[in-house]
């Protein structure tokens, strides 16, 4: 990218981070920081309240995720790292945006339908307005790029529509946030999207490589029709957990297709294929885990990072929210 972007993203504090979060989101956070953009990365603690109701656990998860951010390579000099709730103006912006947001659009959004399906007894108002708060997260700092995984596309599209509509109605106010060119969906061990709130299909980025290897060997779903190593495999359609991840993380695979060809020709068996995958996961996670272990007892430092980041984020977001208030006719008397 030639010009400096305002890069913004957040992760909910629902639990420990998994490899899908790392590959779909966090690794991009680091790249954009390294490129010298204005980076703002937060923990979406308010969004977490739609699914997690244990205050102790929530507080703990927030601190652990900050340490994950730092271990992955973010630092408070290169990125503003903060908790969403430390900037009350985000909630205010969400309220202001909700006044002009048609309800129907929120009910039609696939991520909402998905959450309703998973929590049929827990369809709160917060769940319906989830994308409005997310739009406030994005539009408040005038983000121009939002690195997230593929599952977040509908929410991002909604934020873009809200910005466009607001600008048309009240005059130019918000930057239009762009998505990454390549958004991915990391498969879990069962071949479904890897997720922390899903069935036990995730790889915790803090698990030892040995445990990760064991989980893949025992539970990673490959082509169910390939019974013997001498049978030709179908990496593209029938292998739902291992090959799709090779495509994302194995250097050269997306272009050269060496593993796919070897699988189709029955030159490589599923066990060998899994071992190679875990070796490549190890290359990515080992430096992270080393750094993470050194931060294990740095909770005070993590809180300090959030405190300073919160102040900086607040200064930036406040400016936008004051403008929005003014445009909508709201006066602080
Ligand atoms: P989860 O879906 O596990 O609860 P979050 O919703 O907090 O995690 O997601 C945080 C970030 O990680 C988002 O940018 C999301 O798109 C990304 N992400 C989550 N799961 C995956 C996945 N399986 N593949 C790619 N990106 C993912
Ligand atoms: N909804 C996102 C998720 O579940 C988390 C999130 C909240 C977010 N606000 C955001 C991501 C703003 C990017 C930008 O993963």
Average pLDDT over residues 83-105: 98
Average pLDDT, the chain: 96
Q: For residue 161, how far is its CA from the centre of ligand 1 (angstroms)?
A: 22
* Residue matched to tokens 């600008």: 167
Model confidence pLDDT, tens digit, residues 276-333: 999 999 999 999 999 999 999 999 999 999 999 999 999 999 999 999 999 999 999 9
Does any ligand 1 atom lie closer than 6 A to the CB of residue 192?
Answer: no
In a 13 Å sphere around the CA of 26, the CA atoms on its Cβ side amount to 27
Tokens, residue 273: 């294929």
Atom of ligand 2 nearest to the CA of 151: 15
199 alpha carbon – ligand 1 mean position (Å): 14
Please give the pLDDT value at position 212: 98
Pocket test for ligand 1, best of 7, 15, 21, 23 (most atoms within 8 A of CB): 21
Give the ligand whose atoms come closest to the C-alpha of residue 241: 1
| DSSP-derived secondary structure for 83-139 | EGGG-HHHHHHHHHHHTT--HHHHHH-HHHHHHHHH-TT---HHHHTHHHHHHHHHH
For residue 150, the model assigns a pLDDT of 96
Q: Does the pLDDT of residue 119 top 80, yes or no?
A: no
- Return the higher-pLDDT residue of 175 and 197: 175
Q: How far apart are CA 88 and CA 94, in angstroms?
A: 10
What pLDDT, in 10s, does the model give residues 213-238?
A: 999 999 999 999 999 989 999 999 99
Residue found under tokens 């060997």: 217
| Domains of the chain: residue spans and CATH | 6-187+298-328 (3.40.50.620), 209-293 (1.10.240.10)
Nearest CA to ligand 2 atom 3: 11
**Percent of the residues in the chain that have a pLDDT greater than 90, as a whole number:** 92
Query: Is pLDDT of 198 > 70?
Result: no
- Does 199 have pLDDT greater than 80? no
Q: Whose CA is nearest to atom 18 of ligand 1?
A: 21
Whether 148 is in the pocket of ligand 1, judged by its Cβ within 6 Å, is yes
The reported pLDDT for the residue numbered 1 is 47
pTM, two decimals, is 0.95
pLDDT digits (tens, 9 = 90+) for 172-183: 999 999 999 989
- The closest alpha carbon to 305, from 81, 10, 83, belongs to 81
Lining residues, ligand 2, CB within 6 Å: 8-12, 44, 47, 134, 137-138, 146, 148, 152, 155
Q: Is the pLDDT of residue 116 over 90?
A: no
């Amino acid at each position: 990218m030639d010009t400096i972007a305002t890069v913004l993203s957040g992760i909910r504090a629902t639990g420990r981070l998994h490899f899908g979060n790392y590959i779909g989101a966090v690794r991009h956070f680091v790249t954009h920081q390294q490129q010298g953009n204005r980076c703002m990365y937060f923990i979406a603690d308010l969004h977490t309240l739609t699914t997690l109701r244990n205050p102790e656990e929530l507080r703990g998860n927030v601190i652990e995720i900050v340490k994950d951010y730092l271990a992955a390579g973010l630092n408070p000099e290169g990125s503003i790292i903060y908790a969403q709730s430390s900037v009350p103006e985000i909630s205010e912006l969400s309220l202001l945006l909700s006044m002009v947001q048609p309800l129907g659009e929120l009910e039609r959004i696939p991520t909402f339908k998905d959450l309703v399906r998973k929590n049929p007894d827990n369809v709160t108002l917060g769940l319906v307005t989830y994308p409005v708060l997310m739009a406030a997260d994005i539009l408040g700092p005038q983000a121009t790029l939002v690195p997230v995984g593929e599952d977040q596309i509908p929410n991002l599209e909604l934020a873009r529509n809200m910005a466009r509509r607001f600008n048309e109605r009240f005059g130019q106010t918000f930057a239009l946030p762009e998505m990454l060119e390549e958004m991915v969906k990391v498969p879990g061990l069962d071949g479904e999207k890897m997720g922390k709130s899903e069935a036990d299909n995730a790889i915790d980025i803090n698990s030892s490589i040995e445990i990760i290897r064991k989980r893949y060997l025992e539970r990673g779903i490959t082509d169910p029709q390939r019974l013997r190593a001498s049978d030709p495999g179908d990496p593209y359609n029938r292998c739902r957990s291992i090959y799709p991840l090779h495509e994302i993380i194995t250097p050269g695979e997306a272009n050269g297709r060496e593993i796919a060809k070897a699988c189709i020709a029955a030159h490589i068996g599923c066990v060998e294929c899994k071992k190679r995958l875990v070796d490549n996961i190890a290359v990515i996670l080992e430096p992270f885990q080393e750094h993470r272990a050194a931060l294990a007892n740095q909770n005070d430092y993590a809180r300090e990072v959030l405190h300073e980041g919160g102040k900086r984020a607040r200064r930036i977001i406040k400016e936008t929210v004051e403008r929005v208030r003014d445009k909508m006719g709201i006066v602080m008397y």
